[in-house]
A and B are shown apart, each in its own frame.
Chain A
């Protein structure tokens, strides 16, 4: 009965809940402070702090056997691998001297989603850009 008997005290739950509320207010407040790219860093730091509190206390991982810790860590580690390798690909594409920049670049949004007739009429621009994109694509293929 060890698991069922190792109750986290009621106080711990309300303490964590209070901390989550503080984190929520802090993340909203900080987002209005102009910190440049640090805004994202602070927001994610607060989010990870909240997530760790939820996982350890609300989800009882703190009192769980090591096998559960391994499973949780595996999730975090594989997610980190997936996201970091993916961004490593995209962020370093422009570092390489490439013979075919048009092929390496992401397709422009216009190539994926052409402007609708309605949009062209409504905003009165964009048609020229679309045709130029097509010409550019043809040029690079040749």
Chain B
């Protein structure tokens, strides 16, 4: 661990290099963060459209959604939420280390985040597998066997489940790839001057993915756990 220690204070931080079209580091930093937030707002609207579809159909078919939601594995969902929230902490720590110029710690935090993201995606893949196994994946013209009441609205629920968690998982895969691209620079000690913008921006992206899941988890897994016994199959 001694290799991850900070530089001696005598050689400590210089000001990060500022691109020529910015007056100073503050301006460059604020402009980058603002640009990323602008992108994230478009992402909010993108997921918002899916949540809008979800709202309409849940309002129309509350009982079917409750039964279908009870079919999802709440413990896997809870564990996955735990994993993703933890990965949000590790990436937040990584961004902080990038601020303070502890470059190698940034690398380790990114590796930890990627590891947790991979666990999340693995569990998600297992959940998908069980849905396909039980013929409740309304994809690719596969047979959809729902022995309980309201097979139609149930199919809509599972369509939304696959759609919303699917685009969420796609965002996670993109995030994992992007984070992996920052690791070599981190271990080359390139963030020693607090040149944190790249890490800052990928951190914002990962937190956004976490935010989406914070809403998807109760909306999909916890629709109405209290009212019903599991639907008779």
- The reply to whether B88 and A10 form a contact with Cβ atoms under 8 Å apart is no
Nearest A residue to B37, CB-CB: A71
Query: Are B218 and A82 in contact, CB atoms less than 8 angstroms apart?
Result: no
**Interface of B: prevailing SS:** helix
Q: Is the CB of A64 within 8 A of B218?
A: no
In this assembly, does B178 line the interface, its C-beta being within 8 Å of a C-beta of chain A? no
Expressed in whole angstroms, the minimum distance between the Cβ of A15 and any Cβ of chain B is 11
Chain A contact residues: over half helix, strand or loop, or mixed?
A: helix
B165 at the interface (CB under 8 A from A): no
A100 in contact (CB, < 8 A): no
Interface 9-residue window, one of B120-128, B167-175, B206-214: B206-214
Give the residue of B40, B85, B214 whose beta carbon is less than 8 angstroms from that of A47.
B214
Contact B25–A1 (Cβ < 8 Å): yes
Q: Known: A50-B214, A75-B44, A83-B51. Is A3-B29 also a contact (CB below 8 A)?
A: yes
Within 8 Å by CB of A4, from B37, B92, B196, B204, lies B196
Q: Any chain B CB within 8 A of the CB of A137? A: no
Set A24, A60, A82: member contacting B81, Cβ < 8 A: A24
Q: CB-CB < 8 A to B92: which residues of A?
A: 13, 57-58
Closest beta carbon of chain B to A115's beta carbon, Å? 9
Contacts A7-B100, A32-B226, A86-B55 given: A79-B207 contact, CB under 8 Å?
no
Instruction: In the complex, identify which listed stretch (B2-10, B151-159, B181-189) lies at the interface while the others stay far away.
Output: B151-159
Whether the pair A55, B211 counts as a contact (CB closer than 8 A) is: yes
The chain A residue sitting closest to B210, CB to CB, is: A54
Quick one: which of B86-138 are within 8 Å of A by CB? Answer: 86, 88-89, 92-93, 95-96, 99-100
Give the number of residues in A that approach B within 8 Å (Cβ atoms). Answer: 61
Complex Cα distance A82/B45, Å?
Answer: 9
Tell me which residues across on chain A come within 8 A of B60, comparing CB atoms.
106
Whole-angstrom CA separation of A54 from B86 in the bound complex: 12
Measuring CB to CB, which residues of chain A are less than 8 angstroms from any residue of chain B? Answer: 1-4, 7-8, 10, 13-14, 16-17, 20-21, 24, 27-28, 31-35, 39, 43-44, 46-47, 50-51, 54-55, 57-60, 64-65, 67-68, 71-72, 74-76, 78-79, 82-83, 86-87, 90-91, 106, 108-110, 113, 116, 118-119, 122-123
List 29 A–B pairs whose Cβ atoms lie within 8 Å, in order of A's numbering.
A1-B26, A1-B194, A3-B26, A3-B29, A4-B29, A14-B89, A17-B85, A17-B89, A24-B85, A27-B217, A28-B74, A28-B78, A31-B74, A31-B218, A43-B219, A43-B222, A47-B215, A54-B88, A54-B211, A58-B92, A59-B207, A59-B208, A67-B34, A75-B41, A83-B51, A83-B52, A86-B52, A87-B55, A87-B59
Known A-B contacts: A7-B96, A7-B100, A116-B143. Give 5 more (CB < 8 A): A55-B211, A64-B33, A67-B34, A68-B34, A109-B156
